[in-house]
Structures are given as C-alpha cells and as structure tokens.
Amino acid sequence: QVQLVESGGGLVQAGGSLRLSCADSGPTFSSYAMGWVRQAPGKEREFVAHITWNGGRTYIADSVKGRFTISRDTTKNTLYLQMNNLRPEDTAVYYCAAHYSGPYTYPTAYRNWGQGTQVTVSS
C-alpha cells in the first residue's frame, strides 16, 4: 500500500526555486512508477512529471520542461520535484501519486494521492 505525504511547498518570487518531496511510508515505494500532478485554482489537474519505478526514465510536461526535474531515492522511499526558474503560472497545489494504469500524462492514471502541497509564485 502506497501512503504519500508531500512537503516543500511555499511562497517564492518569480525566478526562484523550490524542491518538493513526497515520502512514502508504505512498503512498496520501489514497485511503482510515480508522478507529480498539479491543480491551479479553478482548473483541472495537470500532469507535471513522471518517473519509472527504478528511476531509469523520466518524462516532463512541455510547460515545465527545462525548469523542473523529477527524481526518486528508493533508499529513502522519497520522490522529488526540483523546480527552478518558477513562474506565476506555476502557482498550484502539487500532488504526488503512484501510477497504476493508462497514459502517464493522464492524471486519472494515478492513485494513492497525497494531500498536496501549495506552491505560490509571486510576480
């Protein structure tokens, strides 16, 4: 069972950086591909990044490519999202989740969502 808790969000100025963490307290972290999805106020959830179960491959949404990096540390059961050169349009609640089935760019392909962490980027 995957049990996810996100942290690391906050308020940052445009151009700044944040690193989000997603800790899994369950025993099966390394069994799942994982992803980050965000939801801005009044908008639908949006795919941000995906990483395979062993960290061998990563996929980044075009909207954040070149600025965001996804990684995982299986020894710590933790998923990361490094966000650089943040923009006001990156403001959203960021969620981590386990990928179960379906295209990884579809938020509906993910389960076991964490509670989310708020990222606010001021201009």
Residue 8 scores a pLDDT above 90:
yes
What separation in angstroms does the CA of 63 have from each of 38, 78, 86, 108, 109?
Answer: 12, 24, 11, 19, 19
Burial of 46 by CB count in 10 Å (0-12 exposed, 13-18 middle, 19+ buried)? middle
At residue 3, the pLDDT reads 86
Query: What percent of the chain lies above the pLDDT cut of 90?
Result: 84
- Return the DSSP state at 95: E
- On average, the pLDDT of the chain sits at 94
At residue 2, the pLDDT reads 72
Residue 87: CB atoms within 10 A of its CB come to 14
* Direct distance between the N- and C-terminal alpha carbons of the chain, in angstroms, rounded to an integer: 40
Query: What percent of the chain lies above the pLDDT cut of 70?
Result: 99
Categorize the per-residue pLDDT at 104 as very low, low, confident or very high, splitting at 50, 70 and 90: very high
Burial of 50 by CB count in 10 Å (0-12 exposed, 13-18 middle, 19+ buried)? buried
At residue 31, the pLDDT reads 84
- Give the pLDDT mean for 63-91: 96
Contact in structure between 94 and 36 (CB atoms under 8 Å):
yes
Looking at the DSSP bridge assignments, the partners of residue 82 are: 19, 69
At residue 106, the pLDDT reads 95
At residue 27, the pLDDT reads 75
At residue 44, the pLDDT reads 97
Looking at the DSSP bridge assignments, the partners of residue 36 are: 49, 96
How far apart are alpha carbons 115 and 109 in whole angstroms? 17
Give pLDDT tens digits for 40-75.
999 999 999 999 998 899 999 999 999 999 999 989
